[in-house]
A and B are shown apart, each in its own frame.
Chain A
Amino acid sequence: MGKIKKKGVSGQAKNFITRTQAVRKLQISLPDFRKLCIWKGIYPREPRNKKKASKSSTASTTFYYTKDIQYLLHEPLLQKFREQKALEKKISKALGRGDAHDAQRLERNASRPEKTGKTKYTLDHVIRERYPTFIDALRDLDDCLSMLFLFANLPSTPTVPAKMIARCERLCLEFEHYLIVSNSLRKSFLSIKGIYYQATIQGQDILWLVPYKFNQRITGDVDFRIMGTFVEFYQTLLGFVNFRLYTSIGLVYPPKFDKSRDDQGAELGAFSLEGNGVGAIEQPKQITNGDSAKPDPKLQAEIDKLMSQLNEPEKEPPTSQTLGENEEDEEEQPTDTIDKFEPAAPGGDILLQPSYSATDPSTLFSNFTFFLSRETPRQPLEFILRAFGCKRIGWDAVLGEGAYTHNELDPAITHQVVDRPPIQVVNDDDMDEDNQTAQKLKAGTRVPGRIYIQPQWVWDSVNDEELKRPDLYAPGAQLPPHLSPFVKKVRGQYDPSAPLNEQEREDEELEADSDMDEEEDVSEEDNMAVQKPKLLIGDEVDATAEGMDVAGSEEDDSSANEDADSFGGFSDAEEEEDEATSTALQRQRELEAELTGVALEEKEIDPRAKAKADARKKAAKRAKEEDEELERAKMMMSRKKRKIMEKMVYSNKKKDAEAELLRVKRRKIEKSGKAAPRD
């Protein structure tokens, strides 16, 4: 017989200690312990057997790994904390004695990071310990960036000193500069929370969230001391990461920071990067007349439009041509790239392929000159455009210093980002004439020869790694949905970008139809939809696309004419109105045609309905059989296994139900949209 083991001396009882025990062992206060935990990355654990770990005490507590706490015992910071505590005691004693002079002298020694942003200690060794390799640090950069970008946008309060904010801002801008120079930004997403960015550095995907430039609402239940502790650590971390990143691409860190420019709101422009002997990075060149060097963007756009129009019948994606002739040349050549495998039939597993982007992110916007209207968010736009190769960005003087140009009429501008509703200018021919002659730039006026787009165009182009059709993103246009680039497509989950009929179950439509039939009285239109919904959807898409293209071509023609003549005021409003009326007419005609068509087809419904009923019956039978089979199989399982399976089935069903709900909604929208489609 083995030796009787004593309880509570080994195993889980020894491996875990409660927080109170830990604090006592370290002989520090709870806030100091919290700080240490945050910096050293020590977190509570969930013991496998709570009862054993708590030595059968029933109170619910948090447990720490004993070795973690032992590791904290040797922490140099612990000594600093104790020194600080002793100093505080001295100060309070001096104040108690009424010895103000002494207290002041001691106070001078005390570090008051919440006031000065400076500490007596450094966290360098902590960084090194927590992240033994640079990759480890990159892996943990998500929270760091999100936090620092948030603090860079906070107002300064007693708990958040202005110095801390300034430092956060600097670090963030420095990091952005690296992304711009190295072209590592991959994706970005405009969400209701803020703007998500994703960069890939040394193979690590880093995703962070930047709030919109608004005053943040600060609720009372947020403890800024905790956040401050994190920020302190993250600042040190990002400093070292930046240093490493800058030196890796041959730049001097820290970059030179021009305070006066920063005060004028230059932001990114307040920094000047220098090479550390390897070579300085190129600065945006001032081009006076870019026409000779580069294909005229306006002309290019026209050609593109024409091409797209020509390609329309062949259903080629028209946007792929917008990049220019050189790309066309590339397309003709045989490539040694990996071919993309598309599933021919549904049901197969999705195999991952290395994403091969035809476009280098550094060249996406490199040929363009952008101008940001004053209502657009300058900071994210400037950053994202620069990160994707744009060298010349101008903006309204209101938006701050550092622009390529503040002049909206600069002829070099190819794209203007606008985010204001088109204002109906009084339709007066005289006015038009006046506008042509007079200096324009009134509300709703356009400079010809440049593309007006809404900000979403930039983001969608970046995410799809190709320039989107600008007409879809024209000012005032109904924008296409902005989709998250971070969602991985999983089979069985709803994918809004794919057509509905591709992803729904075989009999789902039937079921949905039956539901519809039950709940709605049979109207002619519905019958139509029931008969061939897929076909109709396809037609619909085509029709709208055509309509848009037609309108676009008209615009192009006119703008070409304008180009040929002279620069002058030109109001799109009239044309847009025309466009609207024409589409409305078209719809009217379609509706009429449908009405008549229904009358013809109504007699043919009966046999089809019967076939459908049969199919439904068959499906029901099959479902019933499957259910029976499942029941039988379940009967033979052990209870434990059955429970596991039921849990899994439950979660799967929940996901399926979510996807199904979305599909149902979409089906409904598509059906009603047929009557009143979005423009």
Chain B
Amino acid sequence: MAPTTTDRKRKAVTRDTPEISDVESDAEFGDGLLEGILSQSEDSDDGSDQDSEEDEDEEDDELGEINALDSDGIPSDGPENEAEETNGGLNKSNGTTANPLRQLASPSTLEDDDKPNYTITTDANGGERYVYEEIDPVYDSDDSDAPATTNTIGNIPLTFYDSYPHIGYDINGKKIMRPAKGEALDALLDSIDVPRGWTGLTDPATGKPLNLSQDELEILRRIQTNELPEEGYDPYPATIEYFTGIEEIMPLSAAPEPKRRFLPSKHEAKRIMKIVRAIREGRILPYKPPQEQEEEEEAIHYDIWQDEQSRPDNIMNIPAPKMAPPGYDLSYNPPPEYLPTKAEKQAWESADPEDREKEYLPTGHDSLRKVPGYEMFIKERFERSLDLYLAPRVRKNRLNIDPASLLPKLPRPEELKPFPTVCSTVFRGHEGRVRSLAIDPLGIWLATGGDDGTVRVWELLTGRQIWSAKIGDDEAVNVVRWRPGKDALILSAAAGEDIYLLVPPVTDPETEVTSRDLLDAGFSYATNATQALTANGARKEPVAKWSRPGSRLEDEGVLIKITVRTTVKVISWHRRGDFFSTVSPTAQKSAVAIHTLSKHLTQIPFRRLPGIPQTVQFHPSRPLFFVATQRTIRSYDLQKQELVKIIQPGARWISSFDIHPGGDNLIVGSYDRRLLWHDLDLSTRPYKTMRFHSKAIRAVKYHKGGFPLFADASDDGSLQIFHGKVVSDMMENATIVPVKVLKGHKVKSALGVMDVDWHPREPWLVSAGADGTCRLWM
């Protein structure tokens, strides 16, 4: 709180104080004590109280002013003066000596009060110490509001003191002086100001003027006018019925109506007696027998299909199948062939009822009267009903076709002809197995090579041995192959690490000369080639050595011997007859070698191969070279020197393969008994897999002379001939039809047929067997 403002206010209040005191409480006019209390309270009052008081003051000022104006015509300068006057007047009217004193003293008491209620002493440390006065904890000790009981005379009429100047004693035993009663002054005051509620009466209890409030006046007025003294009092309010005449649903008591309250109805008693009499006389039946009502009422029938509408068949609706109609064997007198024999009867009886094909046994009766009842009738009917509602139904499409129509349409064997069917010639002479054979390009001679180290040439049709040469001293002849081309007759054979080129002296001399010339032509190139090698300074061992085999063999017709590093197993000629390739599976790097006949040159095309090479082939028309490893066949472009395709037959160990003369198909034989047909345009996977052999397949061969045939040779001693027609139409697959199994070779030490070859023109087949024979099949 800002001190300035309080000060100011205080000033104002102090100035207004007398005014307030007289205006506010008219009843206290005579009471001087009130002044001090008022001033005291003013001091302690806070601002808000003061504000309100100020407001009231102003009101009262105006009121006073109005009163003054009304009551007497004393001119006044302004409200303030007026107020001062009244103030002064009041003070005069109070007229007590003590009052001014008090008024004077009051500031001092105020000051006393302001005096601190403590003493300053020095404490033990010598510092200031405030010692506060004891507070007397009496009731009202701090009560400033409690009205001071002024008169202590008790409850006696004040008239007792009429003769005394005082009217009683205060609490301290001092006389309370009778307030001033100047008639003139009072009259003046009254003329000046009639306070509100002034009655002009004196309260007999206090002796003070009796003032009545507005409310009390109003009550008086109402009493006078014979109205009810209290406002808003309704002397005739509407009745509130706490207990009504309406009966509630839930009775207060659940006790049933006592029977003593029952009054029998005479009318009912009459009617009852009437019925009783009727029952006694039998005119009324007391109850209906229950059967009667159930008896009748037949089911009502009507035309339920009067407005029938067919419903379209739903696919999910499966009507129950009808029972099968009875057959002949169900007859009571069936044809005798339907009656079971004794054995059948026994079998039926001994079988478990569930295992029986029919649940009844056909029985014959020679007349109808002998037919017994059928024991299983109810059972069967019951099972049928179970089927009707319990058996899952499913739509099954029965194939009602002739199974023969499912068979593929194969050309008849007659249409597939010709193919070899019988063995016409057997070539005997080899000791031990015949490992390889070949028919010369003209189709006249058959060359064979076997375990005995000899190469033999036979006349194909007669089976006569024409020529023989022993080239491997202690090694078997692994392979013999003719050089393609009809101009010369050159045979190549491999025994051990040596490859021999022979010109068997079986043809006319001119051919023989050209053949020898062909072989010899390369010697000059060969020397150059070796020189070139030395010039390179490599000085390494040549991969193959081309040489003359020695005079003994030369006389027999063996003209060139090529020595490579390891055993040669396969020889394969290029179609022109200038190149041939050999495979020696055991050699790592130089396993595949390509030899050039005209240059006596041997090249190793592959530095490294992904597996052990098994066999090689030249493509019949394009510059492609096929190498078969154990699992895959790779084709290389010889010109571009790159890998073209990897064919994966899926066999474990490829034994041999052959390329169709058309060049787009090849067959692969494997040691795991599979024969696989590959369409090179189609896929790298086999088009057909045939597994008709029980043992490994050693050799496969296409017919190269125009017949759509191919054959395989197996260790189970059989040859299988297939018809494999390749059409030029790209959209049509090859048709492969097995046509013939040729059996004749004996299996020796788990080896059957070692090699096969086709005649270049005829549908003839030659096969080399492990039993030391060769056979011509035609």
Contact = CB atoms under 8 A, between A and B. Distances in A.
A543 B648 CA distance: 78
Interface string A130-164: 01111111011011001100100010000000000
B322 A142 contact: yes
Given A34-B389, A116-B294, A226-B382, A641 B331 contact: no
Nearest to A211: B377
Contact of A221 (B334, B372, B379, B394): B379
Nearest to B322: A142
A207 interface: yes
Given A420-B369, A633-B408, A644-B399, A481 B301 contact: no
Contacts of A45: 316, 318, 392-394
A239 interface: yes
Contact of A239 (B299, B323, B327, B337): B299
B307 to A, nearest CB: 10
Interface in B321-350: 322-323, 325-328, 330-338, 341
Interface stretch (A192-200, A321-329, A555-563): A192-200
Nearest to A664: B337
A161 to B, nearest CB: 12
A190 B337 contact: no
Contact of A662 (B337, B373, B394): B337
Nearest to A132: B311
Interface string B610-630: 000000000000000000000
A617 interface: no
B280 interface: no
A637 B409 CA distance: 10
Interface residues of B, number: 75
B422 interface: no
A43 B388 contact: yes
A551 B332 CA distance: 27
Interface in B276-299: 290, 294, 298-299
Contact of A192 (B319, B325, B374, B401): B374
B599 to A, nearest CB: 49
Nearest to B299: A239
Contacts of B233: none
Nearest to B691: A635
Nearest to B339: A665
Interface residues of A, number: 103
A212 interface: yes
B363 interface: yes
Chief secondary structure at chain B's binding surface: loop
A100 interface: no
Contact of A665 (B298, B337, B381): B337
B111 interface: no
Nearest to A223: B382
Contacts of B377: 150, 193-194, 211, 216-217
A636 B410 contact: yes
Contacts of A376: 368-369
A46 B406 CA distance: 28
Interface in B397-424: 399, 401, 403, 406-408, 410, 413
Interface in A214-251: 214-219, 221-223, 226-227, 230, 236, 239-240, 242-244, 247
B305 A211 contact: no
Given A46-B393, A253-B301, A189 B326 contact: yes
Interface string B366-385: 11110111110111111011
A479 B385 contact: no
B737 interface: yes
Interface in A102-135: 108, 116, 118, 122, 124, 127-128, 131-135
Contact of B308 (A34, A134, A214): A134
B303 A247 contact: yes
A226 B384 CA distance: 11
Given A216-B377, A239-B299, A243-B301, A227 B385 contact: yes
A482 B334 contact: yes
A38 B369 CA distance: 38
A101 interface: no
B322 to A, nearest CB: 6
B302 interface: yes
A483 B335 contact: yes
Contact of B389 (A37, A67, A419): A37
Contacts of A424: none
Interface string B240-263: 000000000000000000000000
A376 B305 CA distance: 40
Given A67-B316, A150-B378, A192 B332 contact: yes
A482 B316 CA distance: 41
Nearest to A36: B389
B205 interface: no
B391 interface: yes
B505 interface: no
A461 interface: no
Contact of A207 (B320, B323, B367, B369): B323
A589 interface: no
Nearest to B334: A481
Contacts of A207: 322-323, 325
B333 A479 contact: yes
Contacts of A479: 333, 366-367
A669 interface: yes
Given A46-B393, A375-B369, A219 B322 contact: no
A184 interface: no
Given A67-B316, A662-B338, A634 B328 contact: no
Contacts of A62: 390, 392
A649 to B, nearest CB: 5
A331 B336 CA distance: 36
Given A191-B326, A192-B374, A150 B381 contact: yes
Contacts of A483: 328, 331, 334-335
A175 interface: no
A486 B322 CA distance: 13
Contact of A191 (B332, B375, B738): B332
Contact of B366 (A209, A226, A478): A478
Nearest to B306: A244
B417 to A, nearest CB: 14
B515 to A, nearest CB: 45
Nearest to B314: A67
A214 to B, nearest CB: 3
A43 B391 contact: yes
Contact of A636 (B367, B379, B408): B408
A216 B367 CA distance: 21
B394 A46 contact: yes
A481 B333 contact: yes
A419 B393 contact: no
B299 A196 contact: no
Contact of A190 (B299, B371, B403): B371
A569 interface: no
A456 interface: yes
Given A635-B692, A666-B337, A487 B385 contact: no
B360 interface: yes
B184 interface: no
B310 interface: yes
Interface of B: 290, 294, 298-299, 301-305, 308-311, 316, 318-320, 322-323, 325-328, 330-338, 341, 360, 362-363, 365-369, 371-375, 377-382, 384-386, 388-394, 399, 401, 403, 406-408, 410, 413, 692, 736-739
Given A38-B389, A240-B303, 19 more contacts: A43-B388, A137-B305, A191-B330, A194-B377, A209-B323, A215-B373, A216-B378, A223-B382, A240-B302, A242-B301, A454-B368, A478-B366, A483-B328, A487-B325, A487-B327, A630-B407, A648-B399, A662-B338, A666-B336
Counting from the closest, the 6 A-B pairs by CB-CB distance are A214-B373, A486-B325, A46-B394, A665-B337, A648-B403, A496-B335
8 contacts: A192-B360, A217-B375, A240-B301, A240-B305, A376-B369, A421-B367, A635-B692, A648-B403
